[in-house]
Amino acid sequence: MENKYEKEFTIKMIFTAIKRHFRTLIYFLICFTAIGYTYGYMLTKVNYKSTGSISTTYSLTVSQYGSIVDTTKYQVPALVETDLAEQGIKHADGTAITLAEINNGLGIPEVPNTIKTLTISFSYTNSDKSVVKPVLNSILQQSVKYNNEHNVVQSNNPLAVVIVATEPTTTSNPMTKLLLFLGAGLVIGALIIIVKEWNHYAIDTPSDIVDLEKGAVTIEYRGGNKNAK
Amino acid sequence: MPSNLYCRHFLKQLGSPNSNTKLYNSILALQNEIVINCPSNNKVLGIVSVEDELYSAAIAKALVEFYEIHEEKTLLLNVNMHNDIMPIVFEGKDYQVLEKMTLGKTSKEGFATYKTLGLEEFSSEVLHSEEFKAYMQKVREHYDHVVLMLPPIPEYRDVLLLKDVMDCAVLITKRDRTEVSKIYECVNFLKKNEIPLATISVVK
């Protein structure tokens, strides 16, 4: 009766595959790390973000909260543009900060169904680290000024800046991208070598042919001269 | 017991001392396995490989040298006409080449060797001839062990021509190289053709 070879997917096979094709796996890791580095540090623009808050003394209604958010979104940016120009705050390369930049970078909170806090947090994001903090401070100040002047809140419960703009931090971490690519390289490389090994699994130890019920001997020939005559 | 001189020779022939202490023990284990699986009939041993001829040739030589160390008269006969890796016949304590030839139809020495057997040229017909069978009978009587180096199976089927002169076979496989499916194929091939398989060796 013929011995039929039935492939079995085992942990041993995975370890053997990785051991045999370790170099291939390293090549995959190097390639994917290089791609991840290029993508993360060279191709992707790094953005910086700062946050700050305004607050009232007493609690706000949902309507007041919504009004503050809306005025900050639609009215304040134009005021900020003027304010920045007056203060002489510009990009590092000397160009002016545009209204579109302010609108695009401004992060406003969702209006909640019930107000549980006195503070309203805003954020500002820009690729120029040097302008992030001053722009957000201007947004906070202009928002407070506009809403107080236009009686969005009661005069006995005025808005004030409670947390000034924080030091800018990167929003897209290149290291995270690099690590993601490294992980992808590891997974893809491992999958390829496991599939390759699965299709052409070569003997590792006599236990691989134990089903043949034929005694097998391992011959230690490492370092021997196979061409010895 | 083998003398130190022979042990040193064994080590010198097959590489560095560190690896060959292990090799010596491995060949000892291989021989034990042969004796266990073919206790009464293991005089003429066929060394077949799945694909890697170089390792099968090296293990055949190691086996012959092992027998020689134990002062058993041994003949190594390369009947693999598909390679030209080593001379055909070895014998004696100092591994004197009795009939030196490289395999290949153009080899004058090879032609001369088979001339002595009354054969015109080395081919599959040689292995099938009555002269060769008579020659094998003669060496069987003259030597304690005869090791036949055969071409890889099942690619070459010369082993079938030798099944009558051979007692049992040893299948040589190479770790990390020989596919398990091919080993099954070879074992089934030997089983189907009623060639006793003494053991399978995994060269590390």
Give DSSP secondary structure letters for A12-57. Answer: HHHHHHHHHTHHHHHHHHHHHHHHHHIIIIIISPP-EEEEEEEE-S
Chain B residue with CA closest to A218: the answer is B202
CA distance linking residue B74 with residue B149, whole number of Å: 13
Task: Tell me which of A207 and B122 has the higher pLDDT.
Answer: A207
- Model confidence at A105, pLDDT cuts 50, 70, 90, reads very high
Q: For B170, which residue in chain A has the nearest alpha carbon?
A: A216
Q: Distance (Å, rounded) from C-alpha A125 to C-alpha A48?
A: 6
Instruction: Inspect the interface and report whether the beta carbons of B14 and A225 lie closer than 8 Å.
Output: yes
What pLDDT, on a 0 to 100 scale, did the predictor assign at position B84? Answer: 52
> Could you report the per-residue pLDDT of B72-114, keeping only the tens digit for each?
887 777 777 665 544 445 444 433 444 433 333 333 333 334 4
Q: With contacts defined as CB-CB under 8 Å, which chain B residues touch A3?
A: 184, 187-188, 191
> In this predicted structure, what is the pLDDT of residue B114?
44
Residue A226 near chain B (CB below 8 Å):
yes
Of B58, B179, B197, the CB nearest to A214: B197
In chain A, the residue whose alpha carbon lies closest to the alpha carbon of B197 is A214
Say which of A20, A200, A220 has its CB closest to residue B22. A220
d(C-alpha A199, C-alpha A126), whole Å = 51
Helix (H) or strand (E) holding B46: strand B44-49
Q: What is the pLDDT of residue A99?
A: 92
The residue in chain A having the minimum alpha-carbon distance to the alpha carbon of residue B183 is: A209
Q: Mark yes or no for CB contact A203/B59 under 8 Å.
A: no
**A223 and B16: CB-CB below 8 Å?**
yes
In this structure, chain A runs to a length of 229
* A74 confidence band (pLDDT: 50, 70, 90): very high
User: Is B15 in contact with A2 (Cβ distance < 8 A)?
Assistant: no
Of A75, A50, A55, A51, the residue nearest A65 (C-alpha): A55
CB contact (8 A) between residue B179 and residue A202: yes
C-alpha dist (Å) from residue B156 to A9, A74, B51, B95, B203: 31, 85, 10, 28, 21
Q: Determine contact: A175 vs chain B, CB below 8 A.
A: no
Is residue A67 a contact partner of residue A150, using CB atoms and an 8 Å limit? no
pLDDT average, residue stretch A189-218: 84
Q: Sort A69 into a burial class: Cβ within 10 Å, 0-12 / 13-18 / 19+.
A: middle
B94: tokens are: 């100092």
- Residue-level pLDDT, tens digit, chain B, 204 residues: 333 444 444 445 554 444 567 788 888 888 888 998 887 778 899 999 887 666 777 788 788 778 877 878 877 777 776 655 444 454 444 334 444 333 333 333 333 344 445 445 556 666 777 777 887 888 788 888 888 888 888 777 778 888 888 899 999 998 888 898 899 989 989 988 888 898 898 888
Of B61, B187, B204, the CB nearest to A214: B187
pLDDT at B111: 37
Strands A106-107 and B145-149: unpaired
The total of other beta-carbon atoms located within 10 Å of residue A117's CB is: 12
Element (H, E) at A86: helix A76-87
pLDDT of residue B13: 53
Q: Structure tokens of B58?
A: 């090296």
Chain A residues in contact with B16 (beta carbon < 8 A): 223-224
Of the ranges A129-138, A188-197, B82-91, which one carries the lowest mean pLDDT score? B82-91
Name the residue among B13, B179, B201 with its Cβ closest to that of A200.
Answer: B179
Q: Which amino acid is at A30?
A: I
Residues B107, B57, B154, B33: is their CA dihedral positive or negative?
positive
| A 176-215: CB under 8 A from B | 200-206, 208-209, 212, 214-215
pLDDT at residue number A140: 94
Whether residue A2 and residue B200 make contact (CB cut-off 8 A), yes or no, is no
pLDDT higher than 80, residue A223? no
> Would the CA dihedral through A158, A162, A168, A173 be positive or negative?
negative
Q: Which amino acid is at B173?
A: T
